[in-house]
Structure 1
Amino acid sequence: MTRANRSASPTFQYCAEMVRKLREARGWSQEELGRRAGYTGAAISALETLKQPPTEVMLAKLDQVFFDGQGIFTLAGKFLALDHLPSFFKDYALIEQDALTISSYQPFTMDGVFQTEQYARAIIGGAYPALTEEEINAYVNGRLARAALFDRKNPIPHIDLILEEAVLRRQFGTREAMALQLLHLLELSKRPNVCVQILRMDQGQTGEHAGVDGPMKLLEKSDHKQVVYLEVQRRGLLISQPEEVSEMAQRHMMLRAQALNRYESRNFIEKVAAEWQ
């Protein structure tokens, strides 16, 4: 068994074995299945031998070939997407995939779903204890894959992000990487379902700052129930008790009131991006 075999996730192994059994039950070669699905025989072999996990597109095509598009393989893609995420984060990520609304407050670093590859690689690569290059690549890919959320159609999610000004000014990677990150943030902020607000560093001069207890995320799930996600020192906590969720929601509402509005925030992001260039 190869190293790739040993490190493959249970979901990946299940998909590969299912494809092999379905193919063999029909008497097809890997080349024949590839032809029917629009891939080479080598691509099917890479999947079945656990050398290359399937993409969402491949899963959809395999669904069409074997199940007339009923979504059997496509459902597996939801769990394959978790393979490149830290274990403490996976419960949150499952909820995020289908969330109706996501309201995030981040005082230290850019929210992961808004990160560019260079910014994400700088943060993940600087983690302690140190990660291997393989782990860094996997976590970067997992983080970038979450950005598919912005293009989800059914339903379209509403995403609110409140960032401390310090996030725009704290350097991760090169100056060019920071400029690109802020320009990426600026473009995302112009989407009709995205609202980005900046909380200036002078907020708190009068003692009023609703974010002193740290970062948080509020999510409305697909069943319209609300949860809060807190994360510290690579530990994640999901809170669903209504009274606790209400407390966090009130805090987030005050943060929105204390931050620049979305149009002022865009101008400010553009200004700081120019300073990095």
Structure 2
Amino acid sequence: MARAENKVEANGTAHLVAALAKALREQQQLSQEELGRKIGYTGSAVSAMETCAQPASDQMLVRLEETLGAGLGVFERARELIRLDRYPPQFKGYMRLEQRALTLSSYSTFVVHGLFQTEAYARALIGGGYPPLKDERVEELVEARLARRALFDREPTALIELIVEESALRRVIGSREIMHEQMLHLAERARLRNVTFQVLPMDCGLSGAHFGDRGDMALVEILDHEHLVYLEAQDESLLVSDPGKVATYSQRYAKIRSQALGPHESLGLVEQLAGERQ
């Protein structure tokens, strides 16, 4: 539903899209109702988009590109910018890196990594956080999180590695049904040729060492082969670029990986958990 406060909250990209869509619509001598019919929306929805009372959704931008874009790709580019604007401020810098990742190696402790989440799992996780968010904001964040999946199919191919704590797989988020779907999705992703998936078992500390005791991390190699580390805790983030520190984090990640189950065993555990939650 369109809201008056959206006109104030809308970012610069949304206002630019609105102005461009209106100008191209009028250039083609289309009314709001006529454009709406062409793109599968009501005239009221087009009006709300043009006034930023309800900025263009991702799907509307796809249809605007097909109908008004004239092959310029402006609305397609706007999709990327608007998705980026929807992320929390502390996450935007990392998202630019993730989109450019040549290799991405992540270690997750409490929940399934965002790249591997289902829509229902993401919605339960985001909607259940604190402080509570408005329903509209929850949906924006869910849509933005799911858009990150494009990395799996991007060219050039990104190599994606995930190590996740076994406890995160056993922790029920939302419902048993949501977790069943999440385990099936995780198993599906784990089978992709550009993905390596491993589970750090809960008894890994029996040897006297738990190399993952300092929390989540993401090691990123971007397309120009620069190596960085991203850390996030309690809505605060840190991007590490110092080569010496990056090397230390990379070594720690390697030690975590040495304690994890192999990919075949890890996939078997996820499939087992999926069966238990039917």
Deviation digits for residues 52-95 of structure 1 (CA, Å, limit 9, x no counterpart): 44455654564566664233332222110123321111111122
Amino acid at match of 1:243: G
| TM-score of the two chains, using structure 2 as the length reference | 0.88
SS of aligned partner of 1:218: strand
**2:77 paired residue number:** 75
Q: What CA distance in whole angstroms lies between the structure 1 residues aligned with 2:164 and 2:222?
A: 23
Q: What CA distance in whole angstroms lies between the structure 2 residues aligned with 1:90 and 1:112?
A: 14
Q: Is the 8 A contact 2:189 2:195 kept in 1?
A: yes
Q: Is the 8 A contact 2:5 2:53 kept in 1?
A: no
Task: Specify every segment of 5 or more residues in structure 1 that has no aligned partner in the other structure, as ranges.
Answer: none
Amino acid at match of 1:90: K
- Could you say what the CA RMSD is over the residues aligned between the two structures, in angstroms? 2.4
Following superposition, the deviation at residue 33 of structure 1 comes to 5.3
Q: Is the 8 A contact 2:39 2:67 kept in 1?
A: no
Residues 1-277 of structure 1 aligned to structure 2 (within 5 Å): 2-25=4-27, 27-30=29-32, 38-39=39-40, 42=43, 44-54=46-56, 59=61, 62-63=64-65, 68-152=70-154, 154-277=155-278
The range that moved more, 235-244 or 138-147, is 138-147
Following superposition, the deviation at residue 110 of structure 1 comes to 0.7
The range that moved more, 179-188 or 251-260, is 251-260
Q: Is the 8 A contact 1:83 1:142 kept in 2?
A: no
The range that moved more, 49-58 or 197-206, is 49-58
Q: Is the 8 A contact 1:60 1:71 kept in 2?
A: no
Following superposition, the deviation at residue 96 of structure 1 comes to 1.3
- For the structure 1 residues 268 and 104, does the alpha-carbon distance in structure 2 shift closer, same or farther, using more than 3 Å as the test? same
Deviation digits for residues 157-191 of structure 1 (CA, Å, limit 9, x no counterpart): 21100001111111111111111111110111111
The range that moved more, 56-65 or 166-175, is 56-65
SS of aligned partner of 1:100: strand
- For the structure 1 residues 167 and 40, does the alpha-carbon distance in structure 2 shift closer, same or farther, using more than 3 Å as the test? closer
Amino acid at match of 1:185: L
| TM-score of the two chains, using structure 1 as the length reference | 0.88
Q: Is the 8 A contact 1:60 1:69 kept in 2?
A: no
- For the structure 1 residues 194 and 57, does the alpha-carbon distance in structure 2 shift closer, same or farther, using more than 3 Å as the test? same
Task: Specify every segment of 5 or more residues in structure 2 that has no aligned partner in the other structure, as ranges.
Answer: none
Q: What CA distance in whole angstroms lies between the structure 1 residues aligned with 2:133 and 2:39?
A: 37
Q: How many residues align?
A: 275
The range that moved more, 119-128 or 266-275, is 119-128
Q: What CA distance in whole angstroms lies between the structure 1 residues aligned with 2:5 and 2:255?
A: 51
The range that moved more, 92-101 or 47-56, is 47-56
Q: Is the 8 A contact 2:200 2:259 kept in 1?
A: yes
Following superposition, the deviation at residue 14 of structure 1 comes to 1.2
Q: Is the 8 A contact 1:64 1:70 kept in 2?
A: no
SS of aligned partner of 1:105: strand
Q: What CA distance in whole angstroms lies between the structure 2 residues aligned with 1:4 and 1:225?
A: 38
- For the structure 1 residues 31 and 130, does the alpha-carbon distance in structure 2 shift closer, same or farther, using more than 3 Å as the test? closer
Identity %: 45
Q: What CA distance in whole angstroms lies between the structure 2 residues aligned with 1:38 and 1:128?
A: 37
Following superposition, the deviation at residue 46 of structure 1 comes to 4.0
